[in-house]
Homo-oligomer: A and B are copies of this chain.
Amino acid sequence: MFGLMQDHPLLISSLIEHAATFHPETEIVSRTVEGPIHRSNYRELRDRSKQVANALATLDVGMHDRVGTLAWNTCRHYELYFGVSGSGAVLHTVNPRLFPEQIEYIINHAEDKVLFFDISFAGLVQELASKLRSVTHYIAMTDPAHMPDIDVPNLLCYEELVQAQSDRFTWPEFDERTASSLCYTSGTTGNPKGVLYSHRSTVIHSLMELAPDTFGVSSRSTMLLVVPMFHANAWGMPYAAAMAGAKMVLPGPRLDGENLFGLMRDEGVNFSQAVPTVWLMFFQYLDANPDLDVRSLKLEGVGIGGAAPPRSMIERFENDLGVEVVQGWGMTETSPIGVINRLLPKHMDLPEEERMRIKMKPGRGVWGVEIKIADENGEPLPWDGKTSGHLMVKGPWIASGYFRKDGDVLDADGFFPTGDIATVDADGYVTLVDRAKDVIKSGGEWISSVDLENAAMGHPAVAEAAVIGVAHPTWQERPLLIVVPREGQQPTREEILDYLKRNVAKWWLPEDVVFVDELPHTATGKIQKVKLREQFGDHTLPGVQSR
């Protein structure tokens, strides 16, 4: 027996329709790729999204067709968010920072029918176009005056294409499980994998982003969206902002401190989200310009994710700027809310040091994300803050698989393996220990490569460090430390190990140290341990018979 409630599919088009109806004048402010500031609002955004939807039809883009974007955070990209998904096509946001071969692979794998691109990427598009097998039209997201001079088939101008269309369009109704957008993860191994979001997952995830225990997005928010719209849907914020009617400020291609600070000051930004690197640049800008009146900013909260922020960053935001830091952990596969760090009422009166210890954790569970840490056999491990296991997540906005990739991803209980090793404490706060494939399995215990690397980086002569597991006849694996010395420094194996003895447990101590000039990195800056393992996997540890 079903309830007698109205049966409406949860569709992304409802978000922009709500914003246009109840917050028509609320502004969308963009730094354009061309340079100047552009001002729009939700009514215009809705109307332009409908023009986009009509334009897609003229390009023969239909339900389920993939529409690629290579674009920064701008109003045009925002129009595509609603125009493409709202019309039933799939918005495929491509990360322009990947290696060209990866971008080529991704677009061909997704079979993007058309490709929208910012003029910053004209050269890249020119370089790739001949290898992209499915793309029928290339649309430069600019006006006629700024059209790039490149030679690609069916090059169109966004403004000409869109403005030629009517803003009358009836959003289609369809099953809420329909695919809405697509984003490829670039891991450190293998080809990128496509996460295919649905309208349902997006809308439910947006609802949770309004909750005060996550980001508390509301009609009183003025949000500077620094996290890229090509990165897990900018953490879902473009959708949540429309659902709440928040004012949106888009920084365009410039993530430098000057642009961010200027937008914060001029637009009254009270919330922003970015990865630690961006905030580091932001603080460097503030330091270089001590005459700036940072106290005049209306910033109240920042979201930080993508990597662990240093303690000094949290302290600077909270103590110097009076800004609450909301850390979070997630992945492309988690839409991206996995866990969010908000303090509980019982933490409010703790001493500063205790509160900081909790604030340094990535976060705790919110409704919609079930969490499990599991041993090698998939059995749940206790939440004691010490026992580490495979972090597994389950819920309506978590991926069940990858686009055009067979094979089971979920475990028998329906949990998605994040690939992370983590502990969970009694209050449900998760602490990440290492990536599962990087952890060193030594005598039945796990050694965190991340923790060892961080410890080694503390040595003044170490510029960069990586730790991999190397086979060992007694212990299964033992850690090998690979060090890039600072310029002009020549630390010895013994110096480094002596230093580490004072900073890590004895059984964690690396069996050996090797020195290299540089470490291999991915396009997004991660160390490619798979390459290091290829290179050093056969390294003969001291005291072990060489093979």
Contact = CB atoms under 8 A, between A and B. Distances in A.
Interface of A: 1-8, 10, 14-15, 18, 21-22, 63-64, 90, 175, 177-180, 195-201, 204, 207-208, 210-213, 216-220, 222, 243-245, 247, 335, 342, 344-345, 364-367, 370, 394-403, 410, 414, 416, 427-428
A365 B21 contact: yes
Contacts of A428: 21-22
B178 A2 contact: yes
Nearest to A365: B22
Copies in the complex: 2
Contact of A197 (B5, B8, B18, B243): B5
A4 B399 contact: yes
Given A8-B395, A400-B6, A179 B410 contact: no
Contacts of A335: 5
Contacts of A196: 3-5
Nearest to A346: B25
Interface centre among A178, A212, A222 (most CB of B within 10 A): A212
A220 B178 CA distance: 36
A362 to B, nearest CB: 15
B6 A399 contact: yes
Contacts of A365: 18, 21-22
B403 A8 contact: no
A180 B219 contact: no
A367 B18 contact: yes
A222 to B, nearest CB: 8
Given A208-B207, A210-B212, A400-B7, A2 B177 contact: yes
A200 B3 contact: yes
Contacts of A198: 2-5
A243 B175 contact: no
A416 B5 CA distance: 10
Nearest to A201: B5
Smallest CB-CB A-B distances: 3 pairs: A3-B198, A212-B218, A207-B207
Contact of A6 (B219, B222, B395): B395
A6 B367 contact: no
Contacts of A212: 210, 212, 216-218, 220, 244
A29 to B, nearest CB: 14
28 contacts: A2-B179, A3-B179, A3-B198, A3-B201, A4-B196, A5-B177, A5-B198, A5-B200, A5-B335, A5-B399, A5-B400, A6-B394, A6-B395, A6-B396, A6-B398, A6-B416, A7-B177, A22-B364, A22-B428, A207-B208, A207-B367, A211-B244, A212-B212, A212-B217, A213-B218, A216-B216, A220-B345, A244-B367
Contacts of A63: 1
Contact of A178 (B1, B180, B217, B416): B1
Nearest to A63: B1
Contacts of A410: 6
A65 to B, nearest CB: 9
B416 A1 contact: no
A199 to B, nearest CB: 7
